[in-house]
Amino acid sequence: MIRSPVIVIGCPRSGTTLLFNILSEAPALWSIGYESKAIIERYHAPAVKGWESGALDASDLTAESRAWMLHEFQRQAAPGTFWRSVNQFRGGLRDNSLYRRIRRRGRGDAAGSGVSSALPQAGLDAIRHAVTLRNRVAPPRGDICLVEKTPENCLRLPFFLALFPDARIIYLTRDGRSNISSLMEGWLEPHTFPGYDVPATLAIPGYSRPRWAFSLIPGWRDLTGSPLEEVCAWQWIRCNEAVLEHRDQTAGCVPYLTLRYEDLVADPRTALQAMADFLDLDFAANFGRYTDKLPEINVVSTPDAEKWRRKHGAEIERILPLIEPTMERLGYGV
């Protein structure tokens, strides 16, 4: 059974994929190795609630969906030692120029895009099959501690606490200026971040695709014609404010560890030690290999605290008044 799972949350492009990869390779932890969108949205896709948003609360969980999700998380999970080997292989693919071209073509409309888009899915299916075989040979001995990370989790905390009442939450924050700049980059990288086929026309200046990228936040329909920096600003605000509200409401009842992306990058040892203490894990055995250098995951361009000024300085300056209240709540100066 799954006991005391770890839910990693944070606005998309805040570093949660990096943190999840570190956790997913810890020998003491289990995960499905990738985002759980397919599991969660089997019964709880945005279309089910009329495309209001990707948010879910405790009342959305049904006996049927609960049983399905618990079964699939358990069936698809493997220990960190397994995912470390898989991630090494994935890293080699990410660095392969041919594979990158295949993925890029698969997100477009060019001839052969159907075949190209099928290849990454075939790889994912192969990994799932390998997990099934692995667990037949070496099933878990007793309970497992699952690590879960999906961008919409910020908007689904009551839902996840209904599914996993004994969950522990690790909340990663990032300076809104850098986070929003990274979101803007991601919106324009469709081969990396596919998004949602929403039932509305997107008239976002400078953006030509019909898909909504990253979290489908409450009020998204009001932003379908807004500048991209405003769309991304609201994604950052809604995701963080949802977490802050939940953290305040459940203080003393739900275990929370809040980490800053900036601290994780600047001083991995201290941040990972805090995480090991929070999870009651041996630091050296589970996170010791990352104290000198962190892996690069889903990097569009090299991270840099001041990159937002060079890439999107004017746009970010325009939305500073919008994000300032949340920046202050998170302890970031503007």
Nearest CA to 147 out of 295, 291, 33, 57 is that of 33
Helices 228-249 and 176-187 pack at an angle, to 10 degrees, of 130
Contact 238, 217 (CB under 8 A): yes
97 token code pair = 């120029």
Q: Where are the beta strands (DSSP E) in 153-268?
A: 168-173, 196-197, 211-212, 256-260
* 7-39 per-position pLDDT tens digit: 999 999 999 999 999 999 999 999 999 899 999
**DSSP structural state of residue 296:** P
Contact 327, 180 (CB under 8 A): no
* Least confident residue range of 51-55, 86-90, 259-263: 86-90
* 61-93 per-position pLDDT tens digit: 999 999 999 999 999 999 999 999 888 866 655
Nearest CA to 277 out of 297, 253, 292, 255 is that of 255
What domains are defined for the chain? 6-77+140-330 (3.40.50.300)
Give the pLDDT of residue 117: 42
* Least confident residue range of 117-121, 146-150, 204-208: 117-121
65 token code pair = 């969906």
* 232-258 per-position pLDDT tens digit: 999 999 999 999 999 999 999 999 999
Asked if pLDDT for residue 283 goes beyond 60, the answer is: yes
